[in-house]
Structure 1
Amino acid sequence: MQYHLNGFKPGNYQVSDEAREPALPPPLLDLPKAVDVLIVGCGPAGLALARQLADFADIKTCIVEQKPGPMLFGQADGISCRTMEIMEAFNSSERLVKEAYPLHQNAFWEPDAQNPQRIKRAHKVADARLGLSEFTHGVVNQARLHDILLDGMAHSVTHLVPHYNRRLLELTVDRDLTQDLQAYPITAIFERNDAGQSSKVETIQARYVVGCDGARSAVRKCLGIELQGDSANKAWGVMDVLLVTDFPDIRVKSFIQSKDHGAVMVVPREGGYLVRLYVELDLLGKDQRASQLELGVDDLIARAQRIMNPYQLAVKEVAWWSIYEVGQRVAERFDDVPAGSPGDLIPRAFVAGDACHTHSPKGGWGLNTSLPDTFNLGWKLAAVLRGKSHPKLLRTYAAERRKVAFMLIDADREMSALVATRPSAGKDAASAKTGTAEIEHFIARQNGFIAGTSIGYDESWLCAGHRHQALADGLPVGQRFRSAQAVRVADGCPVPLGHLNKADGRWRIFIFGDARSPLDAASKSARLIAFLADAETSPVRQYTPAGADIDSVIDVYAVFQQQDLAIEQMPDFLWPAKGKYGLRDYEKVFQTNETYDVFEQYGVDRAQGCMVVVRPDQHIANLLPLDDHAALSRFFEAFMLK
């Protein structure tokens, strides 16, 4: 798709440039008096959480934003492979794939050895993230991601829309009520800042609150949570521009280092014409902020032109620009449970996204770490609120995501030092790395983290089965369930198995059959299916409410090696009758063939098979032998409620 030819225009990219208009904010309505979950902030973390919770009719959610309406100009632009996978869980990946600009190459430019005042391409390589996912890392205005999430919220069963123009004045947590899960210990006071009713104060009670309100989070400050780490010491400029240039790699992600004037990173934007430039600026003095540099967009353009000599850059329009500081910090806590508290205390307030980790935007990790933060938290809140899981589940959010935040900070610190041509504060010039080869090596080494596909959670009662990893070495426990195609038995249709893991709060069990046919009642596959269907200790039977569909809590799929299978031969459990009419579900049984061999792709032991338990956030929770029924029951008993 191409757009922005005659100037940048925000809005729905499915509409032509000439007709596109930004979406209007919803009408201003009074805040509800009491809710189950209060979300503060309409960034990617807040909207991803709201998008999840909007699908549960029995959960009352409110999302509040200080700005007057939806985002029009995005700060973030990169959409990682893992974020694309999460958007597929919301049934929205197709729109992003169509609109985003895919990144297939990286180019590296350095001072020309023959004429150091000019830059010269060192080399160009394929993007290291290719092949890590079915999706390609892409670039699109963050506002479009927001639009898609907002659209899903509005069309959900709860028709959830944000309350804009609200500034948080005060947030308190009643410590005497936090362990009473039916209580509303959160009190939040907001001030309306719209033209019509400015200064009007509203109060809302909540059972849980999640602060997704950015690096200067008011929620974090109200909870008394500090950011810890390095303060800003380096300034960069960023601008989205429409320009005419003879620079040959303007449509390729490029790392450019000059001899004397600093560095530029080029990121081609969606639509074929828009380009983002990150421009290296100067060191900041102690306690100095980037805003004190008194630089404007013309200064950024002039600096970029000097760095990219001998190529010409004629900027025709600047869609958005900013100057930011590079600093890496992580919140001391991700929830309201004080350090050193008993392990059974249940948190009621959380921070997510930039509210709990801050860093530079050059790696594209802000949005792509923030959105998975609340993708981790959302299903846990829903499970506890709906009485399906023990509230101790909420303690795992901080344990799992704070580790990722530290990985992010370490990667960003290294990336920031490599991209810059000048040393950071406290380092001498001799320690500055100036070769783009170092950047390339870093990208290759960190490609799984950059893509988000290698991020995994440590062994715990929520991530188990590591000792059986050899049964499927291509499906690491703790990491996300990687998608691969298998053939549906009922109709011969190839289906990406990863797409079965939707963001609907359900658990999944994937049965990868052993060498014996599932039609043989003595096979491990057949015995496991019989156990899940009929045994008193079956987690499917124990946790499915009476009268509900058999897959309403735990959804079971089977993938077999045998080629001579037919759907009518399968046990009823694998093509169950569902819904008010008792319609059969024909989409739970799969087989492999020479073209689509997931046993090969997943490294599944063909003789023994295995079962893989997948969490509602698509991460692998357990990997077990087909005949270890007792271990499967024990796993769910650790946190599920009957």
Structure 2
Amino acid sequence: MQFHLNGFKPGNYQVPDAARKPYPNPPIVDLPRKVDVLIIGTGPAGLTMARQMAEFSDIKTCIVDMAPGPLLFGRADGISCRTIEIMEAFNSSEMVVKETYQLKQNTFWEPDAENPQNIKRTHKIADARAGLSEFTHGIVNQARLHELLIDGMANAIANLRPHYSRELVDLDIDESLTQDLDAFPITATFKRADEAGAGKVETVKARYIVGSDGGRSRVRKSLGISLEGDSANKAWGVMDILLNTDFPDIRVKSFIQSKDHGAVMTIPREGGYLCRFYVELDQIDKDKRASDMKLTEQDLIAKAQKIFHPYTLDVKEVAWWSIYSVGQRIADRFDNRPAGSSDDIVPRAFVAGDACHTHSPKGGWGLNTSLPDTFNLGWKMAAVLQGRSDPKLLSTYSTERRKVAQQLIDADRELSKLVATRPTAGEDAQESKVDTGKIEAFMKRQSGFVSGTSIEYFPSYICTGQENQHLATGYKIGQRFHSAEATRVADGRSQHLGHLVKADGRWRIFLFGGAVDPTKPASAAYQFIDFLANGTTSPVQKYTSNGSDVDAVIDTYAVFQQQDLSMHDLHGYLWPAKGKYGLRDYEKVFHAQDGNDVYDLRGIDRSNGCVVIVRPDQHIAAILPVTAHAELAGFFDEFMIQQK
């Protein structure tokens, strides 16, 4: 798709340039007085949390922001493979894939050895993330991603919409009530920020609060949570521009180092014409901020023109620009519990996204770490609020996501040093030379982390069974369920298995059958399915409430090696009767594809098969032998609450 030919226009890219209009500010309605979940901030973390909560009609959610309306411009626009996988869980990946610029190549430029005042390409390589997912790392306006999440919220069963023009002025948590799950211990006070409501104060009571309100988070400060790490002392300029140039790699991601004027990183933007420039600036004096540097977009353009010599940059329009500082900080804790608290202490307030980890934007990790923060938290909070899981589950959010945030901080610190030609504080005062070979090696080494596909959670009661990893070596316990295609038995359709794991709060069990015919009652696969359907200790029987569909809590799929199966010859649990009419679901059974065999792709034991338990956030919780009925029951018994 191409757009922005005659100037940058924000809004829905499905609307032609000539007719596209910015998203309007919605009308202001009163805040609810009492909610289950209060979300502060409409960035990627806040909107993802709200999008998840919108799936549940019995959970009352409110999301609030100081801004007058939806985001229109710029900010973090890199969309990792993993983020698109999450958007697929919200049924929104198709539009992201259609509209994004897909990153396929990287080029590296250094001073020409024969004429050092000029730059010269050293090499061009394929992007290191290729093949890590069925999706490709891409670039799209963050505002467009926000729109897809907001539309999903509005169209979900809860019909949830953000409340804008509200400033959080006070947050109080009644500590005497935090361990009473029926109580509303949180009191948040807001001041209207719009002209019509100036001075009006509103108060909201909540069971839980999620602070996704940015690097200067008032929620974090109210909770007494500190940010730890390096202070910012290095400045970069960023701008999205429409330009004419004779630089040959303008539509390829490029790292460019000049001899005397610093470095630039370019990233092509969606639509075919727009391009993002990260321009290296100078050090910032101690106790100063990037905003104190009295620079304009024209200064950034002039600096870039010097770096690109002998190529010309004729900038026609600056769609958005900013100056930011490089600093890496992480919150000492991600919830309101005192440090060192046991999992038995129930957290009631959480921070997510930039509110608990800040860094530079060059690696494209901000949005792509913030959004998975609340994708991790959302399903856990829903399970606790609905009485399906023990509240100790909420404590795993901080444990799991703080590890990821620390990895992010470490990687960003390394990348920031690699792409800078001027030293940061505490380093040698002499100018350093960018080694593009080291940047290339870094990107290859960090490809799984940058793409989000190798993010792995610590072993715990919701990431266990490591002793069985050999049964499916390509499904790493703790990492996301790496999708692969299989053929649906009922109709022959090819289906990505990972796309079956939707963001609806349900657990998934994937049975990969062994060599024995699964239609035979004596086979391990048949016995496993019969246990789920009829066993007295079956988690499906224990944790699914009376009157609900059999897959309302735990959704089971089967993949077999045998090619000539008939649905009606399989155990009835695999084609269950559902809904008010008892209609049969024929979309739960698959067989491996010739030439694209999931057993080969994911290292699955062909003789014995295995069982893969997938969490509602698509991460693998456990791998078990097909015969491990008691172990399967014990896994869910650890944290789930029996239903009536």
Same fold by TM (over 0.5)?
yes
Contact 2:415 2:439 in 1 (8 A): yes
**Where does residue 62 of structure 1 map in the other structure?**
62
Q: How does 1:249-264 map to 2 (within 5 A)?
A: 249-264=249-264
Cα deviation digits, residues 473-523 of structure 1 (max 9, x gap): 000000000000000000011100000000000000000001101011111
Q: Does 1:598 align with 2:598?
A: yes
Kindly state the Cα deviation for residue 25 of structure 1 after the two structures are TM-superposed. 2.4
**Where does residue 512 of structure 2 map in the other structure?**
512
Q: Does 1:320 align with 2:320?
A: yes
**Where does residue 550 of structure 2 map in the other structure?**
550
SS across alignment from 2:322: strand
Contact 1:99 1:271 in 2 (8 A): yes
**Where does residue 40 of structure 1 map in the other structure?**
40
Tell me the amino acid that sits aligned with residue 9 of structure 2. K
Tell me the amino acid that sits aligned with residue 68 of structure 2. P
Kindly state the Cα deviation for residue 288 of structure 1 after the two structures are TM-superposed. 1.5
**Where does residue 569 of structure 1 map in the other structure?**
569
Whole-angstrom distance in 2 between the partners of 1:47 and 1:216: 18
**Where does residue 618 of structure 2 map in the other structure?**
618
Contact 1:241 1:316 in 2 (8 A): yes
Task: Say how many residue pairs are matched.
Answer: 642
Kindly state the Cα deviation for residue 343 of structure 1 after the two structures are TM-superposed. 3.6
Cα deviation digits, residues 610-639 of structure 1 (max 9, x gap): 000000000000000000111111110000
Kindly state the Cα deviation for residue 433 of structure 1 after the two structures are TM-superposed. 4.7
Whole-angstrom distance in 1 between the partners of 2:291 and 2:33: 39
**Where does residue 422 of structure 2 map in the other structure?**
422
Structure 1 runs of 4+ with >4 Å offset: none
Whole-angstrom distance in 2 between the partners of 1:593 and 1:293: 59
**Where does residue 148 of structure 2 map in the other structure?**
148
**Where does residue 161 of structure 1 map in the other structure?**
161
Kindly state the Cα deviation for residue 594 of structure 1 after the two structures are TM-superposed. 1.3
**Where does residue 12 of structure 1 map in the other structure?**
12
**Where does residue 533 of structure 2 map in the other structure?**
533
Q: Does 1:127 align with 2:127?
A: yes
Q: Does 1:88 align with 2:92?
A: no
Contact 2:613 2:620 in 1 (8 A): yes
Contact 2:421 2:431 in 1 (8 A): no
Whole-angstrom distance in 2 between the partners of 1:410 and 1:12: 36
Tell me the amino acid that sits aligned with residue 205 of structure 2. Q
Whole-angstrom distance in 2 between the partners of 1:326 and 1:110: 23
- Root-mean-square deviation (CA), in Å? 0.8
Whole-angstrom distance in 1 between the partners of 2:542 and 2:317: 61
**Where does residue 339 of structure 1 map in the other structure?**
339
Kindly state the Cα deviation for residue 429 of structure 1 after the two structures are TM-superposed. 4.6
**Where does residue 101 of structure 1 map in the other structure?**
101
Q: How does 1:167-186 map to 2 (within 5 A)?
A: 167-186=167-186
Kindly state the Cα deviation for residue 23 of structure 1 after the two structures are TM-superposed. 2.1
Kindly state the Cα deviation for residue 220 of structure 1 after the two structures are TM-superposed. 0.5
Task: Flag the 1:429–1:120 CA change in 2: closer, same or farther, 3 A.
Answer: farther
**Where does residue 498 of structure 1 map in the other structure?**
498
Q: How does 1:283-302 map to 2 (within 5 A)?
A: 283-302=283-302
Whole-angstrom distance in 2 between the partners of 1:340 and 1:517: 51
Tell me the amino acid that sits aligned with residue 206 of structure 1. A
**Where does residue 453 of structure 2 map in the other structure?**
453
SS across alignment from 1:377: helix
**Where does residue 230 of structure 1 map in the other structure?**
230
Whole-angstrom distance in 2 between the partners of 1:368 and 1:562: 39
Tell me the amino acid that sits aligned with residue 597 of structure 2. D
Whole-angstrom distance in 1 between the partners of 2:59 and 2:593: 43
Contact 1:139 1:269 in 2 (8 A): yes
Tell me the amino acid that sits aligned with residue 119 of structure 2. I
Whole-angstrom distance in 2 between the partners of 1:269 and 1:312: 19
Whole-angstrom distance in 2 between the partners of 1:334 and 1:445: 28
Cα deviation digits, residues 279-306 of structure 1 (max 9, x gap): 0000111111111111111110000000
Q: Does 1:198 align with 2:198?
A: yes
Q: Does 1:24 align with 2:24?
A: yes
SS across alignment from 1:562: coil
SS across alignment from 1:4: coil
Tell me the amino acid that sits aligned with residue 529 of structure 1. I
Whole-angstrom distance in 2 between the partners of 1:478 and 1:143: 31
Tell me the amino acid that sits aligned with residue 581 of structure 1. Y
Task: Flag the 1:246–1:165 CA change in 2: closer, same or farther, 3 A.
Answer: same
Deviates more, 1:508-517 or 1:341-350: 341-350
Kindly state the Cα deviation for residue 570 of structure 1 after the two structures are TM-superposed. 1.3
Tell me the amino acid that sits aligned with residue 470 of structure 1. H
Deviates more, 1:428-437 or 1:132-141: 428-437
Whole-angstrom distance in 2 between the partners of 1:131 and 1:593: 19
Whole-angstrom distance in 1 between the partners of 2:380 and 2:433: 43
Contact 1:549 1:578 in 2 (8 A): yes
Q: Does 1:309 align with 2:309?
A: yes
SS across alignment from 1:367: helix
Whole-angstrom distance in 1 between the partners of 2:595 and 2:268: 35
Cα deviation digits, residues 574-600 of structure 1 (max 9, x gap): 000000111110100000131331011
SS across alignment from 1:555: strand
Task: Flag the 1:295–1:430 CA change in 2: closer, same or farther, 3 A.
Answer: closer
Whole-angstrom distance in 2 between the partners of 1:360 and 1:317: 25
Kindly state the Cα deviation for residue 430 of structure 1 after the two structures are TM-superposed. 5.8
Whole-angstrom distance in 1 between the partners of 2:593 and 2:140: 37
Tell me the amino acid that sits aligned with residue 205 of structure 1. K
Whole-angstrom distance in 2 between the partners of 1:146 and 1:304: 30
Whole-angstrom distance in 2 between the partners of 1:432 and 1:374: 39
Contact 1:417 1:433 in 2 (8 A): no
Contact 1:65 1:165 in 2 (8 A): yes
Tell me the amino acid that sits aligned with residue 388 of structure 2. K
Q: How does 1:364-379 map to 2 (within 5 A)?
A: 364-379=364-379
**Where does residue 209 of structure 1 map in the other structure?**
209
Kindly state the Cα deviation for residue 154 of structure 1 after the two structures are TM-superposed. 0.8
Kindly state the Cα deviation for residue 74 of structure 1 after the two structures are TM-superposed. 2.3
Whole-angstrom distance in 1 between the partners of 2:477 and 2:641: 23
Whole-angstrom distance in 1 between the partners of 2:619 and 2:374: 14
SS across alignment from 1:487: strand
Contact 2:485 2:593 in 1 (8 A): no
Contact 1:487 1:596 in 2 (8 A): no
Contact 1:478 1:620 in 2 (8 A): yes
SS across alignment from 2:67: coil
Cα deviation digits, residues 250-301 of structure 1 (max 9, x gap): 0000000111100000000000000000000001111111111111111100
Whole-angstrom distance in 1 between the partners of 2:9 and 2:226: 39
Contact 1:417 1:432 in 2 (8 A): no
Kindly state the Cα deviation for residue 353 of structure 1 after the two structures are TM-superposed. 0.1
Whole-angstrom distance in 2 between the partners of 1:241 and 1:130: 27
Q: How does 1:388-407 map to 2 (within 5 A)?
A: 388-407=388-407
Tell me the amino acid that sits aligned with residue 150 of structure 2. L
Kindly state the Cα deviation for residue 374 of structure 1 after the two structures are TM-superposed. 0.2
SS across alignment from 1:170: strand
Whole-angstrom distance in 1 between the partners of 2:59 and 2:434: 53
SS across alignment from 1:242: strand
Kindly state the Cα deviation for residue 431 of structure 1 after the two structures are TM-superposed. 8.4
Whole-angstrom distance in 1 between the partners of 2:90 and 2:251: 30
Whole-angstrom distance in 2 between the partners of 1:386 and 1:454: 31
Whole-angstrom distance in 1 between the partners of 2:159 and 2:22: 20
SS across alignment from 1:616: coil
Instruction: Give the share of equivalent positions with the same residue, in percent.
Output: 67
Whole-angstrom distance in 2 between the partners of 1:63 and 1:265: 35
Deviates more, 1:19-28 or 1:614-623: 19-28
Kindly state the Cα deviation for residue 341 of structure 1 after the two structures are TM-superposed. 2.8
Tell me the amino acid that sits aligned with residue 279 of structure 2. V
SS across alignment from 2:407: helix
- TM-score between the two structures when normalised by the length of structure 2: 0.99
**Where does residue 115 of structure 2 map in the other structure?**
115
